[in-house]
Amino acid sequence: MSPAMTKKDKLLVLLGILGLFLLNYPLLQIFNCEYMSFGVPILTWYLFGIWVLAIIGLLAFGHLISKEYKAQTTYGE
Amino acid sequence: MLSPGLVAAIAFGYLLLLFAIAYYGDRRRARGRSVIANPYIYTLSLAVYCTAWTFFGSVGKAATQGATFLTIYLGPTIMAFFWWFVLRKLLRVCKDNNLTTMSDFLTLRYGKGTFLGAMVTLGVLLAVVPYIGLQLKSVSDTFNILVYQKIISPLTTPVYQDTAFYVALVLVVFGILFGARHLDPTERHEGMVAAVAFESLIKLLAFLAVGVLVTYGIFHGWGEIFGGISQDPKFRQLLQINTGAHDSYILIMVQTFLAMGAILFLPRQFHMAVVENTDEKHILTAMWLLPLYLLLINLFVMPIAFGGLLLGFPPSQADTFVLRIPLEGGHPYLALLTFIGGLSASTAMVAVGSIAVSTMLLNSLVLPLAIRLKLQERLPPYLLTIKRAGILLVILLGYITYRLIGPSAMLVDMGLIAFCGVAQLAPAILGALYWRESTKYGAIAGLGSGFFLWAYTLVLPYLVEAGMFPTDILEHGPLGLAFLKPTAFLGLTGLDVLSHAFFWSLFFNVGTFVSVSLLTASSPLEEEQAWRFVDVFELEEGMPVERRYTYLPNLDQFTRFMEKFIGTPKAAEAQQAFLRQVNTPEKEWGDREKLQLQSYVERTIAGSIGPAAARVIMDGYLSSLGSRMEGVFDLFGQVSSSLEESQQKLKRRVAELSVLYEAARTLTSTLYLPELIEGVLDLLVERLGVEKCSVRLLDEEGMLTIKSYRGLNHLAPITSVKPEIGSLLGQCLLTPQVISVSDTSLMGGDRLEGLLEEETMASFVLAPITTETLALGVLSAASSQKGYFAREHVEFFQSLAGQLGAAVRSAQQVAHQIRNPVHAIGGFAHLLLKKLPKDSDTRNYAEIIIKEAKRLEQMVREVIETSVIFVPREEEQDINQVVRGALGIIRSKIEEKHIDLKVELTENLPPLTMDVGNMKRVILQLVANALDAMFFGGHLRLSTAHQDGMVEIKVADNGKGIPAHMLPHIFDTFFSTKPSGPGLGLPIVHKIIVQHRGEIFIESKENVGTTVTIRLPTTKPEQ
């Protein structure tokens, strides 16, 4: 059993809130311009970049939490 | 070009393949080797999120609005960060309670009423049905494009020529075969999950194939496509956002929030993520893998959309670029693969969505209605048929909406309407999980206002557009009231329709949910559920026993009961599962296991009929067997149910428990009363830090004297007082009850009479030391701090004083038993001494025996003297009054059981001298016994009479009677004719009657009835 949220759980929630900020006005405004890089608009780079970072972050946290999460609860048959 | 026959055959073949996969999945589950119990299949099953709307609609949206479509997939990615926090908790609650839909979840949390569930179901139905229509449209449109190169409008085709109609029928069969082949109490369909996971893979591969073709086959990479678009003045604004209302920052924010809600609260997502989950650890994989899946399936959306525009396809056809580009670019088989990909996306959504919604319909609408119409007895054989009919209904409704409003809306709009609809569930569900004070009325107000405003500001405008309502409403407001215009509610303008609807619906939803919750109180049932939901991770395996049924069916009876709802094989499975779970043979079950069984059965049938119906049916079943619920005082249960208390308080509770435990040990380790009392007082001071405490006991004159104390001055024992009912001390002893005073300055002086000055400085507690019928003394604890003793201390002191009482009583009994033998031993030893010659060794031994016997006698005397029997309060009273008073208390129970009651009281009986409270207790106990003996109605007769200087009271029933071999033991303590129950009733009755110098007789014949006769003397007791 893991009753209360661990610090890692809280950090994960914090990152989610950060993601919400990164993908909304006003931070979005910074990248909303005509500038293109390697033929692709900077906004597209930015959105997909955040996406990739989020996936990496989630992957890392998933691994960390599953290591600590001993008490498995299986809902089989 | 592709022939209709070929496309139809391939589509049909593909569906057969899916069915084969599903069949395989179900077979494997039956053998206990699940194919879906791994995190990757779980992730792919969650990708049911990507419907035809993703497959075709994303491109459509990208080609008209640029990057804003990404919010629909970035929202779930952000939400993935909260999954471990929210989804895991939701999962735990649902698995613990066997909940299979969101309406069941809310119904259970907010007090098992039916209204809330019905409202949620209707709201969700309204949101999801057009969404299903959208999938039908998608399959039919893509089929027609593939075969006839054009979309055929349903407005111009009759139903029997409409491809979508046949698609709907195929999907109904598909849904029934996958989701309703048999009844399953857990609502889990492993076969379907396996098929959906496979479909998720196919749709991703198909989309990536088209993406690669467009990006690298037709064009030379992203650079060329984006470069081309940026050069084109018509399309270059697509590369930016916030260029107008259609891609504003506000809309982006709204869509992100909606998508965050949708990934959890869409019925199909809830079904896949919660109901079909096999292990909560899978969340940890899905939380990064699903975002990756979403990223991959969106990677080529912009290249395809912009590529299509650059190739000269009109933006109005953007919804079908994915299909048209390969088809017209000379890759018909790739187009066919795309069609299969789109088909996968649609069929998966329709199958899961229709199953989830039909379960909701069954559990929250059909069954509660059937129960209201009293049809629940006849319903079980039809449950499966009703479920299948539900799937048919949901899909056909989807088809009807498609025909009515489908053609007027682009694919994406329907999806967002559904997203906004299910977003209304978010406050109530999150409140259920995290906010203990949220109430049923709050949830009803929030969901009601939210759903209404959503329908009014978002659904209605589309219905108007489809020509179902006059356009006046949109232009001038209903009845010309401009401030009620659906798209500018209360005069709010400047927002797009979606943001406007989102704002108003959730503004009212959250506002009323919170405010009404704060203004209303939750029922005890809701409070219990709130605790179970909010603190789900704190719950331990063994739930405290807080209630108990007077009678519960055994496991076989319960299994037969379950069979009606889930079928024989599943009921047998459930029975075995329960036996494994409790891990104790049925013979050894106590109240806890029986109660566990009852709630297990209720949860199991709740899986197929919903918690509201399950509760009504379970209650009906139990009451038909003559069972009723009663509370059980359980100190440990109380402790775990008040976990919300601060840690400080909790520590004190733990200390209290250890005191009780130690006290129990002390009490059983010694019979010597002074030692025992000292031990208890020491525990109070050492473990609980009680400043001052004392034990007062009654002596022969009925005076209360302090026998032992801690923290009081040394003169304390000298004071002894007569307990008067007007003083707190007397009230505590005579009523008897625990009295807690948190601030003595608010008390009148005479109420504190008999207590020491030191005890009444700020706050104190008095607890009566009693046995079953006698008051022996008072345990007191005091503090110089106001409000030191909280409400929960009352229970603690009651327990402790009760233990002391029991110890005193057993000490008394043992002392009485020992006294005579000890006398005899002493006496005979004296005789021996006289006969033995002087100076012999034997004589020495006899002297030792005499000495020890004297010591023992002294001890026994002390024990007996310190515990004097208290004379009950006696007054003159008419026995008929007492009988009437007792009947007044228990009458509702008599009526509840439909028992025919006859009362024949002889008037003008001579008044009796008695303890009215005790005598009332006697009558109540006898009537309660009679009620217990009669299961299905019966006759109960109460009469009084006057005969030979005695007053006679008779209680006669025609119940099941008492077996002859049990009659002689009927007044023994702890003997009971019932299989369960403490067996204290009749012994107490006997004692009270003997105290009143009366007699009690029981005549009983099995299956004929029992008559209890009490005879009390009319003469006054000698003073």
What pLDDT, in 10s, does the model give residues B728-764? 888 888 777 788 887 777 777 677 877 887 788 888 8
> What angle do the packed helices B301-310 and B321-328 form, to 10 degrees?
60
Most confident of B70-74, B842-846, B921-925: B70-74
Arithmetic mean of pLDDT, B119-123: 94
The pLDDT, as a whole number, for residue B511 is 96
For residue A12, count other CB atoms closer than 10 A to its CB: 24
Arithmetic mean of pLDDT, B464-483: 82
Phi-psi region of B301 (alpha: psi -120 to 50; beta: other; left: phi over 0): alpha
- Inter-chain residue contact A62 with B285, CB threshold 8 Å: yes
The pLDDT, as a whole number, for residue B409 is 53
- CB-based contact (8 Å) between B78 and chain A? yes
Kindly calculate the radius of gyration of chain B based on its CA atoms and give it in whole angstroms: 39
How far is CA B936 from each of CA B15, B617, B977, rounded to the nearest angstrom? Answer: 56, 19, 19
Residue B1016 has pLDDT above 80, yes or no: yes
Number of H helices, E strands in chain A: 3, 2
Of B242, B291, B577, the CB nearest to A55: B291
Among B976-985, B996-1005, B1009-1018, name the one with the lowest average pLDDT.
B976-985
The pLDDT, as a whole number, for residue B635 is 37
In our burial notation (b when 16+ CB lie closer than 10 A, e otherwise), range B218-245 reads bbeebebbbbbbbeeeebeebbbbbeee
* Global model pTM greater than 0.80: no
> When comparing pLDDT for B408 and B1010, which is higher?
B1010
The pLDDT, as a whole number, for residue B407 is 59
Most confident of B279-288, B707-716, B719-728, B984-993: B279-288
> When comparing pLDDT for B589 and B196, which is higher?
B196
CA distance B975 to B964: 14
The pLDDT, as a whole number, for residue B954 is 92
Please, are residues B141 and B57 in contact by the beta-carbon 8 Å criterion? no
Residue B543 has pLDDT above 80, yes or no: no
Residue B434 has pLDDT above 80, yes or no: yes
> When comparing pLDDT for B582 and B542, which is higher?
B582
The pLDDT, as a whole number, for residue B550 is 60
Q: Amino acid identity, residue A25?
A: Y
Arithmetic mean of pLDDT, B646-667: 66
Residue A1 has pLDDT above 60, yes or no: no
CA distance B250 to B496: 9
Burial of B521 (0-12, 13-18, 19+ CB in 10 A): exposed
Sequence-separated (6 or more) residues with CB below 8 Å from residue A47: A23, B67, B70, B74
pLDDT category, B979, cuts 50, 70, 90? very low
The residue whose two tokens read 């998508």 is: B259
**Kind plus residue range of the DSSP H or E element containing B566:** helix B555-566
Chain B residues touching A47 at Cβ < 8 A: 67, 70, 74
- CB-based contact (8 Å) between B227 and chain A? yes
Residue B770 has pLDDT above 70, yes or no: yes
The pLDDT, as a whole number, for residue B372 is 82
Among A15-24, B450-459, B664-673, B684-693, name the one with the lowest average pLDDT.
B664-673
DSSP bridge pairs for B698: B704
Q: A34: distance to nearest CA of chain B, Å?
A: 7
Residue B458 has pLDDT above 60, yes or no: yes
Q: What is the dihedral sign for C-alpha A7, B276, B606, B564?
A: negative
Arithmetic mean of pLDDT, B84-102: 87
> When comparing pLDDT for B553 and B259, which is higher?
B259
> When comparing pLDDT for B260 and B53, which is higher?
B260
- Inter-chain residue contact A29 with B222, CB threshold 8 Å: no
The pLDDT, as a whole number, for residue B671 is 58
- Inter-chain residue contact A62 with B302, CB threshold 8 Å: no
Sequence-separated (6 or more) residues with CB below 8 Å from residue B128: B266, B267, B353, B357, B394, B418, B421, B422
ipTM here: 0.91
Number of CB pairs, chain A paired with chain B, less than 8 A apart: 142
The pLDDT, as a whole number, for residue B636 is 37
Which one-letter DSSP state was computed for residue B774?
-
The pLDDT, as a whole number, for residue B640 is 39
**DSSP of B66-114, one letter per residue?**
GGGGGHHHHHHHHHHHHHTTTHHHHHHHHHHHT--SHHHHHHHHTTT-S
pLDDT per residue over A7-55, tens digit each?
Answer: 888 888 999 999 999 999 888 888 888 888 888 888 999 999 999 999 9
Arithmetic mean of pLDDT, B908-931: 81
Q: Amino acid identity, residue B196?
A: V
For residue B935, count other CB atoms closer than 10 A to its CB: 15
The pLDDT, as a whole number, for residue B509 is 96
pLDDT per residue over B694-738, tens digit each?
Answer: 888 877 667 788 878 888 776 666 667 777 777 888 888 877 778
- What three-state secondary structure class fits B551? coil
Most confident of B347-356, B690-699, B916-925: B347-356
- CB-based contact (8 Å) between B280 and chain A? yes
Sequence-separated (6 or more) residues with CB below 8 Å from residue B822: B853, B856, B857, B860
Residue B645 has pLDDT above 50, yes or no: no
Residue B563 has pLDDT above 70, yes or no: yes
Interface of B with A in 302-331 (CB under 8 A): 302
**Kind plus residue range of the DSSP H or E element containing B444:** helix B440-454
Please, are residues B951 and B1016 in contact by the beta-carbon 8 Å criterion? yes
Arithmetic mean of pLDDT, B141-154: 81
Most confident of B470-484, B621-635, B870-884: B470-484
**What tokens appear for B801 in the block?**
């004083």
- Inter-chain residue contact A58 with B291, CB threshold 8 Å: yes
> When comparing pLDDT for B477 and B629, which is higher?
B477
The pLDDT, as a whole number, for residue B934 is 81
Compute the 3-state secondary structure of chain B and give helix, strand, coil in percent, each to the nearest 5. 65, 10, 25
DSSP bridge pairs for B311: none
Torsion angle of C-alpha atoms B379, B385, B386, B387, degrees rounded to 10: 120
Phi-psi region of B282 (alpha: psi -120 to 50; beta: other; left: phi over 0): alpha
The pLDDT, as a whole number, for residue B547 is 53
Q: How many CA atoms lie within 13 A of B79 on its CB side?
A: 26
- Beta strand B692-698 with B704-710 is antiparallel
Arithmetic mean of pLDDT, B863-881: 63
The pLDDT, as a whole number, for residue B869 is 37
The pLDDT, as a whole number, for residue A58 is 93
**What tokens appear for B345 in the block?**
């996306």
CA distance B218 to B728: 96
Of B226, B253, B288, the CB nearest to A41: B226
Chain B residues touching A36 at Cβ < 8 A: 226-227, 230
pLDDT per residue over B492-519, tens digit each?
Answer: 888 888 999 999 999 999 999 999 999 9
- Inter-chain residue contact A36 with B226, CB threshold 8 Å: yes
**DSSP of B282-327, one letter per residue?**
HHHHHHHHHHHHHHHHHHTHHHHHHHHHHTT--GGGGGGHHHHHHH
Q: How open is the CA angle B784-B787-B789, to the nearest 5 degrees? A: 90
The pLDDT, as a whole number, for residue B649 is 60
- Inter-chain residue contact A12 with B81, CB threshold 8 Å: yes
- Inter-chain residue contact B240 with A34, CB threshold 8 Å: yes
Sequence-separated (6 or more) residues with CB below 8 Å from residue B447: B106, B116, B119, B120, B123, B424, B425, B428, B509, B513
Q: Which of B685, B732, B255, B781 is nearest to B501 (CA)?
A: B255
Locate the chain A residue with the closest alpha carbon to B75.
A20
